[in-house]
Structure formats: C-alpha cells, structure tokens
Structure 1
Amino acid sequence: MIDAENIVVATSDDMHAFGVRLGRSLSAGDLLVLTGPLGAGKTTLARGIGEGLGVRGPVTSPTFVLARTHPSIVGGPPLVHVDAYRLSEPIELDDLDIDFAGSVVLVEWGRGMVDAVASRWVDVEIERPTGAVGSDENEADAVDEPRHIRITRHDQDPA
C-alpha cells in the first residue's frame, strides 16, 4: 500500500492516476473506506483502483445496487465496490455477505460501519475546497480543483 499519509491531487486525472498506483499496491483482504463530500472524487479514485487491480469494468458508483463485484481479468483478487450511504447500521453491511478475505473491498460512505465487520482497514479521506466557486453545487462539482487525501490505517486488536 502507498506509504504517504497526506497527498494532494491537482486534477481528476491525477486522482485517477493515484488510484491506479494505489490499486497496484492492494491485495486480497485489503479494505478501504472512502470518505468525502459529494463530488470529492471517491468514484474517480475507485475507477483508478479498479484499473490498477486489473478488474473488469467499468467501475461506477454502486449507489442503487449497494455493492458491485468486479472480477479480475489478470488473475488477481476481485474488487468489491460498496456504497454504504443508504445503510443505516453496520449489521446491514455484514448482511451483504462480502468476501472480505478474498477481495479488495472499497466502501464509500463507510465510516463508522466497517469497524463492526473488520479489525483492519484503511480510511481514505478526500477533502475538497469549499467556496471556490458559486453556490451552485453542479458548478462546484465541475471545477477541477485540488483535493487533499489523508490516509489513516486502523488496526484493532481482536478482543
């Protein structure tokens, strides 16, 4: 996994490229929680991770299906991409019956959810500037502005 704790990406292309590098460093059993506001670049990062892992795509937001599995086309682990936004409690994440040990799992909006199903994960928090453009949210999402990524590793001792 990439060792840097704080990263700045200037454009959405850079976010994708960072995802490719990150994806190449992941292996089965890795769990990442992608956190950030709408338009922060979580799905762009997930697309890059999918490309880096060599999975069948396209990697798109799984908002309406909750979880989407992308099998490897290069003999590696599958990517399971989860959108936990509509889940109300951690048990619902467990109910999705995800193969955490045999897959690379990305959970968007999963902060506070994964600690009930895993003892080890990486939080990838994406911050984007606010107020850089007008108050129209669509206009703000279209602006290619730098994002700050903070990576925090969590490793809970099993009790």
Structure 2
Amino acid sequence: MKNSFPATGTRRLEDPEETRAFGAELGAALEAGDLVILDGPLGAGKTTFTQGIAAGMGVRGRVTSPTFVIAREHRSATDGPGLVHVDAYRLLGEGSSGDPLGELDALDLDTDLTEAVVIAEWGGDLVEQISERYLLIQIDRESAVLEDPESEARIFSWEIRRN
C-alpha cells in the first residue's frame, strides 16, 4: 500500500456516499499483493465500501456482495492491479480445508493473487495468513445508533498488521 494512506486511523462516515468516497481514497492507495480484511456485522457497509475501493482502483464491473458466488474478480480498466472480492466466511465454511490460500486456489480464479488486491469480507481471524501484512478494517454500525437511533453513520477503524 502506498504511503498516502495512513497505517492506522478511525473515521466516522455518515452515509453510503461518504463510505464509497473513503473506499475510493483507499483504493487509490492499494497495490498488487495487498490484502484488506473487512470485519463488521451484517449490513455494516462492507460491500458499499468495496464499491468505493473498486472505483478508486479503476476496475471493471459492478461490485456486489460475493456471498452467493464466494469470490468475484474485477479486472483493471487501467494498468493497475485487479480486484478479488471474497466472502471469507463462505470460502472457509463447512467442508473447507481451512487453508484460505488453498481454498482460493481451488476456485480456479483467473487472477494471480500476487498481482491483485484481495478484499475479504467477513475475513477477521480467517484469511490473515495469505499475506505477510494486511490491512484490517473494523466497521462499527452500532455506536452511532446508540447516540442517535436515526443515524446511519458507521465508524471505520483500521490498522496495518503483520503476521
């Protein structure tokens, strides 16, 4: 990841547009081989954030939840890396070997993971070992609602971690 994106931080995002804009900011800083793990409850905005990342990276295709297909590939519209968008929980669900790299390889993706950015939804404590370092993003959708039940804000906290 380029140094233009801070290694740690917290940001409150008020709506889906701000979430996509923040994703685009991160997407512009991502490089081939980067792993981003998105951790947060159902409806937290993981896919919305990934839509922004895809826009910032300049990849092709509509970004939707990977839940029903396990992984989606998006090729670059420029000379940048492609995007592999994974539902890590389903990837490593019932019947899996428990080896995320092996399970990704078994999907027979057209993309070499070292030449792409991998975004893993539901990836906390599941896919960290596929990279020596990764960006963990935790999404809190409850704190803002406790303050104001009408709020749609999400609080994004992130840090770069190493294995």
Shorter chain as normaliser: what TM range? 0.7 to 0.9
Decide which structure has greater helix share.
Answer: 2
Q: Is the 8 A contact 1:120 1:154 kept in 2?
A: yes
Deviates further, 90-99 or 78-87: 90-99
Distance 1:16 1:144, change over 3 A: farther
Which residue of structure 2 lines up, in the alignment, with residue 148 of structure 1?
155
Distance of 1:110 and 1:81 partners within structure 2: 11
Which residue of structure 1 lines up, in the alignment, with residue 51 of structure 2?
47
Distance of 2:151 and 2:83 partners within structure 1: 27
1:114 offset after TM fit, Å? 1.6
Distance 1:144 1:67, change over 3 A: farther
Which residue of structure 2 lines up, in the alignment, with residue 106 of structure 1?
119
Q: Is the 8 A contact 2:33 2:117 kept in 1?
A: yes
Deviates further, 21-30 or 86-95: 86-95
Distance of 2:81 and 2:144 partners within structure 1: 40
Distance of 2:35 and 2:12 partners within structure 1: 22
Q: Which runs of 5+ in 2 are unaligned?
A: none
Q: Is the 8 A contact 1:129 1:145 kept in 2?
A: no
Q: 1:123 aligns with which of 136, 139, 145?
A: 136
Secondary structure in 2 aligned to 1:76?
A: coil
Give the superposed CA RMSD: 2.1
1:94 offset after TM fit, Å? 2.7
Q: Report the TM-score when normalising by structure 1.
A: 0.84
1:24 aligns with 2:28: yes
Q: Deviations over 1:17-41 (max 9, x none)?
A: 1011110111101100001001110
Deviates further, 112-121 or 11-20: 112-121
Distance of 2:87 and 2:127 partners within structure 1: 12
Q: Is the 8 A contact 2:144 2:153 kept in 1?
A: no
Distance 1:38 1:130, change over 3 A: farther
Q: Is the 8 A contact 2:87 2:123 kept in 1?
A: yes
Q: Is the 8 A contact 1:8 1:146 kept in 2?
A: yes
Distance 1:92 1:114, change over 3 A: closer
Distance of 2:128 and 2:23 partners within structure 1: 23
Q: Report the TM-score when normalising by structure 2.
A: 0.82
The percent identity for this pair of structures is 44
Which residue of structure 2 lines up, in the alignment, with residue 63 of structure 1?
67
Q: Which runs of 5+ in 1 are unaligned?
A: 134-139
